[in-house]
């Protein structure tokens, strides 16, 4: 395996870890937002919309 292929694989692995970290941060933020708003029905609706927007931006659920 050439050095450039190994370097490419390391870059891909690092990029994957970064994306996974961003997805986890988005999930945690969405959970915190939802749990903070659970008593207010209008806030719950808006929190759900924001979570849906975040998941769409992250590509979750795309076909």
pLDDT in tens, 6-45: 999 999 999 999 999 999 998 888 888 777 766 677 777 8
- 30: Cα separation from own chain's centroid: 9
What is the distance in angstroms between the CA of the first residue and the CA of the last residue of the chain?
A: 34
Query: pTM for this one?
Result: 0.50
In the Cβ-directed half-sphere of 28, how many Cα atoms lie within 13 Å?
A: 6
User: Residue 36 has which token pair?
Assistant: 């903070």
Longest dimension (CA), the chain: 58
Classify residue 47 as exposed, middle or buried by CB count within 10 Å of its CB (0-12, 13-18, 19+). buried
Domain ranges of the chain: 25-63
């Amino acid at each position: 395996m050439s050095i450039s292929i190994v370097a490419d694989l390391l870059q891909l692995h690092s990029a994957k870890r970064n994306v996974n970290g961003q997805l986890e941060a988005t999930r945690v933020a969405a959970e915190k937002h939802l749990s903070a708003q659970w008593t207010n029905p209008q806030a719950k609706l808006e929190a759900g919309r924001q979570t849906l927007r975040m998941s769409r931006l992250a590509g979750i659920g795309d076909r």
